[in-house]
Amino acid sequence: AQSVTQLDSHVSVSEGTPVLLRCNYSSSYSPSLFWYVQHPNKGLQLLLKYTSAATLVKGINGFEAEFKKSETSFHLTKPSAHMSDAAEYFCVVSDNTDKLIFGTGTRLQVFP
Amino acid sequence: DSGVTQTPKHLITATGQRVTLRCSPRSGDLSVYWYQQSLDQGLQFLIQYYNGEERAKGNILERFSAQQFPDLHSELNLSSLELGDSALYFCASSPSIVSRTDTQYFGPGTRLTVL
């Protein structure tokens, strides 16, 4: 069975500093991986996705993630945090029946 | 705005009751997905419909059922409600049947409170 592990439940950064949200996956074959963001009282929005093309994936709002097969990781990064980035972030893997399996989420706080 | 609409936004009901949640997908999307988000279980996939047919099932209880109508809107029916069914229920839609590569567009959710 496939799964994702988000290594940090909370991450706090200062505005203007880099963001790193960590995600490891487990998969018996080549997975599709996604990062979704959920702002308070809102639905989820896709940030980016990896579907076996380029390993460095660029998403919206300056976010990017790198698929590293050797490390089974798909960490989300952004060079400079903005106050509006404060939200819950979900790493997601697609299993062999095309179902999405969500991680437990990482809450990002951004301080001024 | 994702283009996916869900009604109602909030629902408060009592144990043992039955409720219906409604979802309208983005224009042109044929797949509809239902998810449950709760504090103890996190975000869980419940069920997927594609063009009116059930396509995939997740952790959906037997007390829950769904359908997708010819106009592609979908309804999630929850019956014999229990306190533990209190959660945020999301609907998502995507253009095709293949959720592995498709982007899913999520609605704003329906918050269900069972008292």
- CA-nearest residue to B89 within chain A is A43
A102 at B interface, C-beta within 8 A = yes
For the stretch B56-100, pLDDT in tens is 899 899 999 999 999 999 999 999 999 999 999 999 999 877 767
* CA-based nearest residue in chain B for residue A44: B106
Alpha carbons within 13 angstroms on the beta-carbon side of residue B32 total: 32
pLDDT, mean over chain B = 93
DSSP string, B4-55: -EEE-SEEEE-TT--EEEEEEPPTT--EEEEEEEETTTEEEEEEEEETTEEE
- At residue A108, the pLDDT reads 97
- At B99 the pLDDT is 63
- Phi, then psi, of A50 in degrees rounded to 5: -115, 125
Instruction: Determine the distance in angstroms separating the CA of B86 from the nearest CA of chain A, rounded to an integer.
Output: 16
**What type of residue sits at position B24?**
S
Q: What is the pLDDT of residue A1?
A: 74
Q: Rounded distance, CA A20 to CA B51, Å? A: 39
pLDDT at A96 over 90: no
Q: How far is CA A83 from the centre of its chain?
A: 18
A107 touches chain B (CB under 8 A): no
CA nearest neighbour of B66 among B36, B103, B94: B36
Q: Chain B residues with CB inside 8 Å of A46's CB?
A: 103-105
Q: Is the pLDDT of residue B29 over 80?
A: yes
Cα A31 to its chain centre, rounded Å, is 14
Contact A32 B58 (CB under 8 A): no
What is the chain A residue with the closest CA to B98? A98
Nearest to A79 by CA among A17, A22, A26, A31: A17
Please give the Cα distance from B53 to B10 (Å, whole number): 27
Contact A22, A5 (CB under 8 A): no
Per-residue pLDDT, B26: 96
Which of these, B6, B12, B15, B1, lies nearest to B35 by C-alpha position?
A: B6
Q: Is A20 on the interface with B (CB under 8 A)?
A: no
Q: What is the pLDDT of residue A40?
A: 86
The four Cα atoms B80, B86, B87, B88 give a dihedral, to 10 degrees, of 80
* Sign, Cα dihedral of B79, B82, B88, B93: negative
Q: How far is CA A26 from the centre of its chain?
A: 15
pLDDT of A22-76, one tens digit each? 999 998 777 889 999 999 878 899 999 998 778 999 999 999 999 999 999 999 9
A44 touches chain B (CB under 8 A): yes
| B100 near A CB under 8 A | yes
